Amino acid sequence: MTTLDDYVAHIEGTCGAEKDVIVTFKYEKKQEAIANILKKATLKNNLSGIIYELTFEGNSFRLYGSGKAIFRSIKNRQELDRILSALLLS
């Protein structure tokens, strides 16, 4: 059974008023992760296939072709895990 650990290399938070979270996908799974996310999230803007501005369940985030995603205004780790599970696993 596939889990989030199969896709995610590491997660780190940012400083500041808004709690943004940077998710880095594992190199060997990044293309699969990007494809799954693009299928399920709503595309707002695409900059040359390198940066994707997306929304999913009211949460906005950027997805980079390098295998990173920056989620904006995430309240806690449980919310992030729920969003990632919905995007990557279901």
Does residue 21 contact residue 14 with C-beta atoms inside 8 Å? Answer: yes
Which pLDDT does position 90 carry in this prediction?
A: 77
Q: Which domain holds residue 75?
A: 4-88
pTM across the whole model: 0.90
CATH number at residue 77: 3.30.310
Does residue 8 contact residue 84 with C-beta atoms inside 8 Å? Answer: yes
Long-range CB contacts (< 8 A, 24+ apart) of 44-49? none
Tens digit of pLDDT at every position of the chain (90 positions): 889 999 999 999 877 667 899 999 999 999 999 999 999 999 999 998 899 999 999 999 999 999 999 999 888 889 999 999 999 997
Which pLDDT does position 49 carry in this prediction?
A: 83
Which pLDDT does position 73 carry in this prediction?
A: 86
Buried-exposed string 45-76: b where 16+ CB fall within 10 A, e elsewhere:
eeeeeeebebebeebebbbbeebebbbeebee
Comparing CA positions, the residue from 56, 85, 86 lying closest to residue 71 is 56
Domain count across the chain? 1
